């Protein structure tokens, strides 16, 4: 595996771990969203305490 691909996969794994500990979920996007600069979708599951739940669209840099 090429070094840049390893770095990218490590970045995804690290962010997924941090997001999970924070009680949120993380999902990789498909190619059309990736072409728009969106690599992941991070959100919190809907709960009774939240009327609106946050959705983040981060761009991963290697």
Within its chain, how far is the Cα of 9 from the centroid? 12
Count of residues for the chain? 62
The overall average pLDDT reported for the chain is 82
pTM of the complete model: 0.71
Residue 40 burial (CB < 10 Å; 0-12/13-18/19+)? Answer: buried
Tokens of 16: 């997924």
Q: Can you give the residue ranges of every domain in the chain?
A: 3-56
**Which runs of E-coded beta strand occur in 1-62?**
24-28, 40-44, 55-56
* Residues 36-56: tens digit of each pLDDT: 888 888 888 766 666 677 787
């Amino acid at each position: 595996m090429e070094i840049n691909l390893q770095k990218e996969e490590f970045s995804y794994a690290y962010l997924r771990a941090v997001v999970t500990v924070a009680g949120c979920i993380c999902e990789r996007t498909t190619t059309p969203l990736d072409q728009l600069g969106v690599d992941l979708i991070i959100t919190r599951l809907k709960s009774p305490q939240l009327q609106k739940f946050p959705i983040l669209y981060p761009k991963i840099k290697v």
